[in-house]
């Protein structure tokens, strides 16, 4: 067998293990009974170890290094695969096994410690773990790239090609333009839709509406399905099996609707990747940022547009005649775009959301660069949110303890949320040159939008980097201007022009 063929065989085997581990994850998150988890953990551990051995065996490493040293002999697609494989290997090989295992254990333990700390509003009990997590991540980043700023390495981990330099330009633009605009909007006079929003909406009917949305967005039911879970997510193993979940709250109907549309965005992306990549390392969406650009596009640009509710409010009314008695499609449009300064990121609206991310970026950067320590975190957090949104947490549970990410070792992940949304505005700007998007939404032909995205973006899977895709689609490098313009236009129209 030649080297390429051997690599293929190895990838196929690795993918088989990942597949069943993913399947167990889907099951765990959507239906597995409570008492099954202990034994499941032990069993999956056996297979995870097998997988890890496969991925890091001396033989595998040797093969990848050999392929890499002759990379020019291969076509572009295979070159990209080799680079991805090489990168994964290089991330691990220099970490002493002892440290790797210690870190795995730390991450595992920290989940519960964080949960308890958040629940008890007790930052002190989580502080030590958080400090060690930051230390390990810094150390690992330096093992991989000793001469690079560790935070740059982390940022690149979650969004290939991005660095502090790129993000600084992005967030500085937001700071300059968006923070004052948000303040203006926050102080504008607004109707109060909270009674409408927080009315009681029967969960079965909510389910029916979400099921209706599946067809509105033209998700392929033969290649996927919707379920519910505590935290909405999208799951996929190939374009032919893409599943997603949403979350139902009786007193907050928008939770299920916008989680469903958001996850449908992720899911449509995955369904439209070319199946040619199924048995390669080029399957699936190319990055966190690009993925988030798709979910946010469907959720906000489509799902929170006036046209969308002009078309679909009737269906909503049909399911909830009582709750919508005195309300029009226009009211719905306003209600789904209600802006307010809030402390919790995952509850933030489209306009204030990026400021929550900016704050996390500032803090991660300072932490990794040693400008602040874990002791400073609560105070720095509270000062920043006050600076950006004019409100201050009364406790750490609604401040620095609110997110799960750091306890899971994910440092450098947050910025992709805002970046993705900004990507989406830039891509949307390009789309408007080809498509009459509002007409399409009004006429309920979202498949036309899907087709455009498939041809321009989705079908490529991870065969191209985020940067390559963005330039291909929009003919320019990442530019935060489109995002800021989009937000200013939409929210000026909603709250300042009337």
Catalytic machinery residues: 263
Instruction: Give whichever of 176 and 221 is closer to its own copies, judged by the CB atom.
Output: 221
Residue choice 4, 6, 8, 40 for contact with its own copies (CB under 8 A): 40
Nearest to 484 by CA among 179, 163, 168: 179
Q: What is the DSSP letter of 242?
A: E
> Which listed range, 14-22, 90-98, 168-176, 424-432, lies at the site for its own copies (CB under 8 A)?
14-22
23 is a contact residue toward its own copies (CB under 8 A): yes
**Measured from the CB of residue 232, what is the shortest distance to its own copies in angstroms?**
17
Q: What is the DSSP letter of 461?
A: T
- CA dist list (Å): 38 to 49, 50, 104: 17, 19, 18
Residue choice 12, 148, 176, 200 for contact with its own copies (CB under 8 A): 12
> Which listed range, 22-30, 65-73, 205-213, 262-270, lies at the site for its own copies (CB under 8 A)?
22-30
CA–CA separation, 146 and 318 (whole Å): 61
- Which residues, 6 or more positions from 57, have their beta carbon under 8 angstroms from its beta carbon? none
24 is a contact residue toward its own copies (CB under 8 A): yes
**Other beta carbons less than 10 A from residue 98's beta carbon:** 8
Number of residues that bind its own copies (CB under 8 A): 38
Site string for its own copies, 269-288 (x = CB under 8 A): ---------x----------
Strand order in the sheet with 241-246: 224-228, 241-246, 234-238
Give the torsion sign (CA, 30, 254, 290, 410).
negative
- Which residues, 6 or more positions from 62, have their beta carbon under 8 angstroms from its beta carbon? none
**Measured from the CB of residue 109, what is the shortest distance to its own copies in angstroms?**
23
CA–CA separation, 269 and 278 (whole Å): 14
221 is a contact residue toward its own copies (CB under 8 A): yes
Residue choice 32, 61, 92, 142 for contact with its own copies (CB under 8 A): 32
- CA dist list (Å): 220 to 71, 268, 271: 38, 8, 8
Instruction: Give whichever of 31 and 447 is closer to its own copies, judged by the CB atom.
Output: 31
**Measured from the CB of residue 102, what is the shortest distance to its own copies in angstroms?**
24
340 is a contact residue toward its own copies (CB under 8 A): no
52 is a contact residue toward its own copies (CB under 8 A): no
Binding region for its own copies (CB under 8 A): 12-13, 15-17, 19-21, 23-24, 26-27, 31-36, 38-40, 43-44, 46-47, 220-225, 227, 237-238, 240-241, 243, 278
């Amino acid at each position: 067998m030649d080297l390429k063929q051997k690599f293929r065989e190895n990838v196929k085997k690795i993918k088989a293990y990942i597949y069943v581990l993913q399947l167990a994850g889907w099951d765990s998150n959507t239906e597995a009974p409570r008492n099954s988890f202990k034994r499941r953990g032990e069993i999956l551990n056996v297979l995870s170890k097998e997988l890890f051995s496969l991925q890091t065996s001396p033989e595998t490493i040797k093969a990848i290094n050999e392929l890499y040293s002759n990379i020019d002999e291969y076509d572009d697609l295979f070159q990209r695969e080799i680079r991805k494989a090489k990168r994964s290997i290089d991330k691990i090989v220099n970490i002493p096994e002892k440290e790797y295992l210690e870190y795995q254990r730390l991450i595992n333990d920290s989940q519960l410690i964080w949960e308890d700390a958040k629940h008890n509003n007790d930052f002190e009990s989580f502080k030590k773990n958080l400090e060690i997590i930051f230390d390990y991540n810094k150390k690992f980043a330096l093992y991989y790239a000793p001469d690079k700023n560790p935070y740059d390495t982390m940022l690149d981990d979650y969004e290939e090609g991005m660095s502090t330099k790129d993000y600084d330009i992005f967030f500085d633009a937001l700071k300059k333009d968006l923070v004052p605009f948000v303040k203006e909007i926050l102080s504008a006079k607004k109707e109060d839709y909270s009674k409408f929003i927080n009315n009681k909406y029967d969960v079965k009917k909510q389910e029916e509406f979400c099921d209706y949305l599946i067809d509105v967005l033209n998700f392929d039911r033969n290649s996927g399905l919707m379920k519910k879970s505590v935290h909405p997510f999208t799951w996929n193993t190939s374009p032919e099996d893409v599943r997603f979940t949403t979350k139902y709250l009786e007193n907050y109907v928008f939770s299920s609707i916008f989680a469903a549309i958001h996850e449908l965005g992720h899911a449509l992306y995955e369904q439209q990747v070319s199946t040619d990549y199924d048995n390669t390392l080029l399957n699936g969406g190319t990055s966190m940022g690009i993925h988030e650009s798709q979910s946010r596009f469907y959720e906000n640009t489509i799902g929170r547009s006036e046209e969308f509710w002009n078309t679909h409010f009737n269906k909503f009314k049909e399911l909830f005649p009582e709750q919508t008695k005195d309300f029009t499609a226009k009211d719905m449009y306003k209600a789904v775009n209600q802006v307010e300064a809030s402390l919790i990121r995952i509850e933030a609206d489209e306009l204030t959301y990026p400021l929550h991310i900016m704050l996390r970026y500032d803090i991660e950067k300072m932490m990794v660069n040693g400008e602040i320590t874990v002791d400073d975190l609560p105070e720095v957090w509270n000062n920043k949110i006050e600076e950006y949104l004019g409100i201050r947490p009364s406790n750490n549970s609604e401040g620095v303890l609110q997110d799960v990410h750091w306890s899971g070792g994910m440092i450098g992940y947050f910025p992709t949320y805002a970046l993705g949304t900004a990507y989406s505005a830039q891509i949307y700007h390009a789309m408007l040159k080809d498509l009459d998007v509002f007409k399409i939404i009004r006429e309920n032909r979202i498949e036309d939008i899907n087709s455009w995205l498939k041809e321009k973006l989705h079908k490529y899977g991870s065969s191209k980097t985020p940067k390559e895709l963005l330039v291909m689609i929009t003919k320019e490098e990442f530019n935060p201007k489109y995002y800021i313009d989009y937000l200013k236009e939409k929210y000026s129209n909603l709250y300042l022009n009337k």
